[in-house]
Amino acid sequence: MGSLIINKVKYFGDNYFYESPDLHPGVNIILGDNGSGKSTFSYFIEYALGGKIKPFTDDDAEGRYSLILNDKNNYVHLDLSINGIAYSFKRFINSSDIFIDQPSGTQSFPLDRKSASFIFSDWLLEKLEIPVFELYLGGSHWYFNFNDLFRLLNYDQNTEPRKIYKAPLAENFVADSIIIRKSIFEILLGISSADYFKKIDKARAAMKHRDLAKALWENFTANHEVNGDFEKLSLRKTEIESTLATLEAERKGHLKENTTVDDKMGELAQVQSILVDLELKLSQDRVAIGALENEKAKIDILHAGLVQEIAQIEKIIFTHEKLDLFAMELCPFCMTKKDVVEGYCICGSKFNDDDYEKFVYNANEYKDILSHKQKSIKAINLGKAAYEDDLIEKKQRIEQNTLLWEEYTLKLKNIINTAEFAGNSTVVDDLNDRIFKLKDELLKINYGLKNSTEESRLKKDYEDKNKIFGAAQASLNKAKEEYNKNNANTIAQFNQIYSELLSKSSYQSHEAYIDEDYMPFIDNREYKANSSDVPKRLMYYFTMLALSLKLNSVKHPRFLLIDTPEDSGIDTDHLNQNLALLNNAVAFGKQPDGSIKEYQVILTTGYGKFPTEFDEFVVERFSEKEGNFILKSRSASHDETNKFPDNKGFHSHE
């Protein structure tokens, strides 16, 4: 199944920056004092993966991250590998879009499903080989996003350990309901087979379609008179049509013997006038269509140009931080640091904001330009749609007028051919009566045939949909058997690993397994101190990692982010004892040949609050005492400013 490995974490802004050391598969430990930036490191990862970080929003009532919120032109940049393929994610602060740099080029995806049918989460789940899963909750419809699954990939310090699952983004009774949590667990462990649930939806839809078809059929037969003898009606229709043809030919022959032409001339002139008017309208519409098509071609050219510009700007947004050729702090010739007074050029000349032109923009300005271009292309799309609507309308009018022209042309021919038929007689009246009666009978027969045809169609539609439902139900029953069989095996292995890990943890349990809601049931629910909630939750996450390493059916991407698991008053010795069991969890996941699949665990913790055997896994250190915080000020030193460019554009006097 899919794997996720974080390679590097970056933050860039006008005032602050951060770039992590290279991270690697396996265990990566981020050390730090309280307040030095451990949780910020985790925030950056979650934010770049599409999560909502409350301190990064101005409306957070619990506390805002002012250094980041007051920074300008700032974003988080994540280098990572998915199934061994390198990608880069870039997300601006307070942005609902994520830019992805991938081998095929740069793309941007929205985070909100309301703004697009295919969003960032869909892209990420597709790469991780996890189907986009839908759940129907009564009248509600729930799409599972990567953020939902991340609730069992991220052991965060803001969620009470006794709750197991990370708190949802939207804290309401639906988002944190039992059925949602069970579905997250099932999707990650591959026991909630997407194929099985799709078959459930397919069977439900088939049953709904069958019931609707049956209701339509029964309603039609109840409200319409249906003559089931279709062949008899058809035969009688053929007889009447033959008789009518004979009678009408006889009437026509009789009328030819009594001719006059004068009374047809007025009708002839009227039809000719209508034909001339129709030909004029057709000519005008064809000219208008030619003009519209020329204008639409120009709009298409403009649209294609804008699409190309947007693609270029998206690429620039991703690579812009690497271009520092025109920083105002450096001389463009000797590239040495030069103190420049605000409002003065490098040459020393004074200028106002209105006296210069920007040739290179900062990343945030490029993002604004992109937004403007995207709005422009929306306006162009509206223009294209308007032209297309006008073209469709005029083509439809031409089609309608062409049919009218053909109709009146035929009518004109008939008037000319029948101009001589003006006579009348008793014989003609008798023929007219017989023709009228036969046409009345033919009308009733046609109505009966129509009802019989419609009834047969509705009946066949019901029978076909009933067969489809039967096939869908049989397929569902077969999938359910397989589903239950696979689930029992996976759950049994989960219970075995979880029970063994928890017995070796500071919890020191005797028996542990998960109940029907996949929640821990330990030692018959005997009371334990609050500190026992840490191993109970941590071993749950370790067990899922172990199963992802062991079983190919598990969808879990073999990634864990553990942020400061020192909650509920647990002491350091017990914390270290529990963290050391990560090695046991990985050992459970060994393949039959002794190999271990690639995985990654990122642990943020305090100094001394991790097992000593994990010393070699420390990749980053923060310290409040030494003033080494995660966010580095750009104004701290000249060297740091050069190493992490601030992307200010070069300016020229006008």
Q: Checking DSSP bridges between strand 140-143 and strand 134-137, what pairing results, if any?
A: antiparallel
| Arithmetic mean of pLDDT, 535-546 | 96
pLDDT at 30: 96
Range in 28-32, 290-294, 479-483 the model is least confident about = 479-483
Cα separation, 238 vs 627, whole angstroms: 100
Q: Which residue has the higher pLDDT, 302 or 617?
A: 617
CB 640 within 8 A of CB 44: no
Please check the confidence at residue 324 and state whether its pLDDT lies above 70.
no
Model confidence band, residue 332 (pLDDT cutoffs 50, 70, 90): low
Cα separation, 574 vs 551, whole angstroms: 30
pLDDT tens per residue across span 589-632:
999 999 999 999 999 999 999 999 999 999 999 998 888 999 99
Please check the confidence at residue 60 and state whether its pLDDT lies above 60.
no
CB 10 within 8 A of CB 20: yes
Model confidence band, residue 588 (pLDDT cutoffs 50, 70, 90): very high
Distances (CA, A) of 107 to 97, 311, 613: 10, 8, 42
Structure tokens at 11: 């933050």
Q: Which residue has the higher pLDDT, 207 or 266?
A: 207
Range in 65-79, 471-485, 579-593 the model is least confident about = 471-485
Which residues does residue 140 pair with via DSSP β-bridges, in sequence order? 137
pLDDT at 640: 41
Most confident among 95-104, 306-315, 409-418 (mean pLDDT)? 95-104
Average model confidence (pLDDT) across the chain: 82
Please check the confidence at residue 487 and state whether its pLDDT lies above 70.
yes
Is pTM beyond 0.75? Reply is: no
Q: Checking DSSP bridges between strand 26-31 and strand 600-605, what pairing results, if any?
A: parallel
pLDDT at 629: 94
pLDDT tens per residue across span 361-419:
666 777 777 777 777 878 888 878 888 888 888 888 888 888 888 888 887 777 776 65
Q: What is the percentage of the chain residues whose pLDDT exceeds 90?
A: 37
Cα separation, 483 vs 301, whole angstroms: 53
pLDDT at 173: 60
Distances (CA, A) of 332 to 325, 329, 357, 359, 536: 7, 9, 17, 14, 60
Model confidence band, residue 260 (pLDDT cutoffs 50, 70, 90): low
Please check the confidence at residue 307 and state whether its pLDDT lies above 50.
yes
Q: Checking DSSP bridges between strand 4-12 and strand 16-19, what pairing results, if any?
A: antiparallel
Q: Which residue has the higher pLDDT, 553 or 98?
A: 98
Structure tokens at 649: 């554009």
Please check the confidence at residue 326 and state whether its pLDDT lies above 50.
no
Cα separation, 448 vs 232, whole angstroms: 11
Please check the confidence at residue 327 and state whether its pLDDT lies above 70.
no
pLDDT at 309: 81
Range in 92-96, 106-110, 166-170, 574-578 the model is least confident about = 166-170
Task: Name the DSSP class of 330.
Answer: B
pLDDT at 371: 77
Cα separation, 46 vs 560, whole angstroms: 11
pLDDT at 334: 63
Structure tokens at 633: 């000020």
Cα separation, 585 vs 588, whole angstroms: 5
Q: Which residue has the higher pLDDT, 133 or 60?
A: 133
pLDDT at 91: 96
Q: Checking DSSP bridges between strand 105-110 and strand 97-102, what pairing results, if any?
A: antiparallel
pLDDT at 329: 57
Cα torsion 110, 112, 113, 114: sign: negative
Please check the confidence at residue 282 and state whether its pLDDT lies above 70.
yes
Distances (CA, A) of 544 to 154, 495, 549, 578: 12, 11, 9, 15
Angle at 243 between CA 242 and CA 249, to 5 degrees: 95
Please check the confidence at residue 220 and state whether its pLDDT lies above 60.
yes
375 C-beta neighbours (distance < 10 Å), count: 10
Amino acid at 282: L
pLDDT tens per residue across span 542-560:
999 999 999 998 999 999 9
pLDDT at 228: 60
pLDDT at 250: 77
Residue 358: enclosing H or E segment and its boundaries? Answer: strand 356-358
Cα separation, 69 vs 75, whole angstroms: 11
pLDDT at 489: 86
Task: Name the DSSP class of 168.
Answer: P
Angle at 41 between CA 97 and CA 183, to 5 degrees: 65
Backbone angles phi, psi at 616, to 5 degrees: -70, -15
CA 495 to chain centre: 35
| Arithmetic mean of pLDDT, 73-93 | 96
Question: Who's near 301: CB < 8 A, 6+ residues apart?
Answer: none
105: phi > 0 → left, psi -120 to 50 → alpha, else beta; which?
left
Q: What is the 3-state secondary structure (H, E, C) of 125-163?
A: HHHCCCCCCEEEECCEEEECCHHHHHHHCEECCCCCHHH
Backbone angles phi, psi at 108, to 5 degrees: -120, 145
pLDDT at 170: 65
Q: Checking DSSP bridges between strand 4-12 and strand 75-82, what pairing results, if any?
A: antiparallel
pLDDT tens per residue across span 105-162:
999 999 998 888 899 999 999 999 988 877 766 556 678 899 999 999 999 988 887 8
83: phi > 0 → left, psi -120 to 50 → alpha, else beta; which?
left
pLDDT tens per residue across span 452-470:
778 888 888 999 999 999 9
Q: Which residue has the higher pLDDT, 296 or 535?
A: 535
Instruction: Please choose, from the candidates 145, 152, 35, 227, the residue with its C-alpha nearest in 3D space to the C-alpha of residue 554.
Output: 152
Cα separation, 654 vs 651, whole angstroms: 9
